[in-house]
Structures are given as C-alpha cells and as structure tokens.
Amino acid sequence: MSGGLIVFVCTGNVCRSPMAEYLLRAYPGLDAGWDVCSAGLAATFGVPASHEAVDVMREKEIDISLHSSRPFGAELVKAASIVVVMTRDHMNMMELFYPDAVHKVRLIKSFDPQARGEDLRDPIGMSHDVYRGIRNEIERALPGLVASLENGVG
C-alpha cells in the first residue's frame, strides 16, 4: 500500500497522538503518499499541545506548537486507512462505537516487537522526563508501523 490516511488517536489529542503524528510526518522512511493526522476520543476542538509535549518534540527539532486538538469521529473513521490507538481502552472504545472499523484499528506498541503490545500511558500532568520517555516509545514503534504500511496493513 503506498498511500492513504493514518490517524493517531489518544484521549485528549494534546500529548501522545500529536507527538506520534509529527514524529511520523518527520520519519524518513514514510512514503510521500501517506497523509497523517491525529484526534482524541474525548477531545474538543482547538486545544494546543501540552507545553511538555511541545518542549520534548522541540528537542528533536520538530515543532508542534501550532497543533490544535480535534475530536475523533465518524468522518475520520471512514477516511482512515489505519487508526493507531495508544491503549487497549482506546481499542475497546473503537470496538464499541465503530464496530465496522475494527479491522483498521491497531495498538501503537504492537508495532514495537520489544513492547509486546503494552499500553502507551498518558503523560498529562507529568514531568518532561515522562514525556521524553513516551516520545521515545513512539519512536521505537515507527519502523514497525512503516514496514506494516509498506506491506499493506491498514
């Protein structure tokens, strides 16, 4: 598969999913045919990324300061080639609210062979070190995600 829409989903769309979105956009192995966005299952429109997320992404020379949250909904489900969630709870919510799209949903850490499909915890309200760790966990999943996209997963 050489293109489509990848949607990263977390709870509020201010920490994990925007970091994942921008890290994947900057990933050198991603085919140019892929569009990437993020949303939150409990998000509202227009909330900026957390200061900690902005700071730890800036360490990678990636600017997410203009990120603006948005809720995940039916239009993104329909448009998405793959929906990448952060936790099993997110996965369960997808199964409940979007049962016809379950085949599109993947847990982010399932792409990291060392993570064994664990949850990517929510860093909201935590220290920069915790955010840095979450960013690094996302980065470890990207090679597997990109390889899966190249092999037609999604």
Asked if 39 contacts 71 with a C-beta cutoff of 8 angstroms, the reply is yes
From 55, 121, 122, 140, the catalytic residue: 122
pTM as predicted: 0.96
Q: Is 72 exposed, middle or buried (0-12, 13-18, 19+ CB in 10 A)?
A: buried
Count structural domains, the chain: 1
Taking only the tens place, the pLDDT of each residue in 16-36 is 999 999 999 999 988 889 999
Instruction: Please give the Cα distance from 68 to 48 (Å, whole number).
Output: 5
pLDDT of residue 32: 85
58 is catalytic: no
Q: Residue 145's domain is classified under what CATH number?
A: 3.40.50.2300
Q: Give the range of the structural domain holding residue 17, as residue numbers without chain letter.
A: 4-150
Q: Is 15 a known active-site residue?
A: no
Place of tokens 């200061």: 51
Distance CA 54, CA 48 (A): 9
Residue 10 among the catalytic residues: yes
Question: Given pLDDT bands bounded at 50, 70 and 90, which one contains residue 151?
Answer: confident
Confidence of residue 86 (pLDDT cuts 50, 70, 90): very high
Work out the average pLDDT over 130-149: 97
Would the pLDDT of 90 be above 90?
Answer: yes
Token readout for 40 is: 């939150």
Does 147 score more than 90 pLDDT?
yes
Predicted confidence (pLDDT) at residue 1 exceeds the cutoff of 60: no
Contact 71, 43 (CB under 8 A): yes
Q: Which residue among 10, 37, 106, 112 is the active-site one?
A: 10
Residue of 15, 16, 106, 112 with catalytic role: 16
